[in-house]
Amino acid sequence: MNEQKLSQRLMRVAEGIPTGTRLADIGSDHAYLPTYLVLTQKIAYAVAGEVVAGPYQAAKKIVMRSGLEKRIQVRLANGLAAIQPEDKITGISICGMGGSLIQSILEAGQKNGQLSGSEQLFLQPNIGEYALRKWLANNHYQITDEEIIAEDGKKYEIIFAQKSPVPVSYSEKELFFGPCLLEKNSVIFHEKWLDEIKKKKLLLQKLEQAATKPKEKIAGIKALIQAIEEVV
Ligand code: SAM
């Protein structure tokens, strides 16, 4: 992967970012996503935020190498503190982190006034999708689209969200599987959850063979398997 050829995961995020978005890419690492979007002229302005010095330097190097210092501001900052009011950001991408970290970045941004609610959100949690969807709903964000991407033997969920003027509510099933993913009912969605069932059944076998069976845990896993089997 580089700034000219994104991974499939970041490419799908890039495809979902509307033309002309003023993007803040938080946890940008090498700044591949904003650099690709500016190089392909889909967007004209971005902030690449990084909290760790090494990836921040890597991002600066890629942006300089591409001659985009005027269009991409690389900033060493924690979460949405990378955003300044004059950036007039209209979209925020946070990719390749756990859902709980994404959630805490959004939460802090909301408290500190860096997340105004007018920005579109482009999120790619590696894990913890349920809790992230719950945070979005609790904070009046509607999930506008979702995707699953398979890459290097892993499956990644991508969530696009936008603040809603009215309260947002999702069922437990929608929070768990993703409201748009449920509706799309794609082959890869089925593959993901059939794999999950296999993993849970293996775990169940092990727990049932244990000298002291953790009854509550076993019951929880059985209920989860049943819930997944009702969908796939
Ligand atoms: N976004 C890129 C992608 O999806 O390929 C890079 C993902 S990388 C695994 C996660 C990056 O997020 C790391 O470079 C890490 O330093 C950065 N990061 C973690 N917490 C952060 C925070 N609170 N603020 C800004 N960057 C953060």
Gap between the Cα atoms of 218 and 214, Å rounded: 6
In tens, the pLDDT along 16-45 reads 999 999 999 999 999 999 999 999 999 999
Residues 205 and 112 in one domain: no
Residues 20 and 132 in one domain: yes
Ligand 1 closest atom vs CA 13: 4
Residue 180 lies in a domain: no
Tell me how far the alpha carbon of residue 113 lies from the centroid of ligand 1, in angstroms: 21
Domain count, the chain: 2
Q: Which residues are near ligand 1 (CB < 6 Å)?
A: 10, 26-29, 49-52, 55, 78-79, 95-97, 101, 105
Nearest residue CA, atom 14 of ligand 1? Answer: 29
Note the pTM of the prediction, 2 decimals: 0.96
Residues 132 and 224 in one domain: no
What is the span of the domain harbouring residue 45?
Answer: 8-168
Tell me how far the alpha carbon of residue 229 lies from the centroid of ligand 1, in angstroms: 34
Gap between the Cα atoms of 146 and 130, Å rounded: 13
Tell me how far the alpha carbon of residue 31 lies from the centroid of ligand 1, in angstroms: 10
DSSP H or E segment with residue 197 = helix 187-209
Residue 2 lies in a domain: no
Residues 162 and 220 in one domain: no
- What are the backbone angles phi and psi of residue 179, rounded to the nearest 5°? -60, -40
Out of 11, 23, 25, 51, mutate this one to test ligand 1's pocket (max ligand atoms within 8 Å of CB): namely 51
With bands split at pLDDT 50, 70 and 90, how would you rate the model's confidence at 4? confident
Sign, Cα dihedral of 126, 128, 133, 135: negative
CA distances from residue 115 to 24, 53, 118, 120, 184 in whole angstroms, order as listed: 11, 24, 8, 10, 30
Does position 3 have pLDDT exceeding 90, yes or no? no
In tens, the pLDDT along 60-77 reads 999 999 999 999 999 999
Residue 210 lies in a domain: yes
Tell me how far the alpha carbon of residue 94 lies from the centroid of ligand 1, in angstroms: 8
Nearest to 166 by CA among 137, 124, 209: 137
Residues 198 and 115 in one domain: no
Residues 93 and 199 in one domain: no
Residues 218 and 120 in one domain: no
- What are the backbone angles phi and psi of residue 178, rounded to the nearest 5°? 95, 120
Tell me how far the alpha carbon of residue 175 lies from the centroid of ligand 1, in angstroms: 24
Q: Are 55 and 30 in contact (CB under 8 A)?
A: yes
Start-to-end Cα distance in the chain: 33
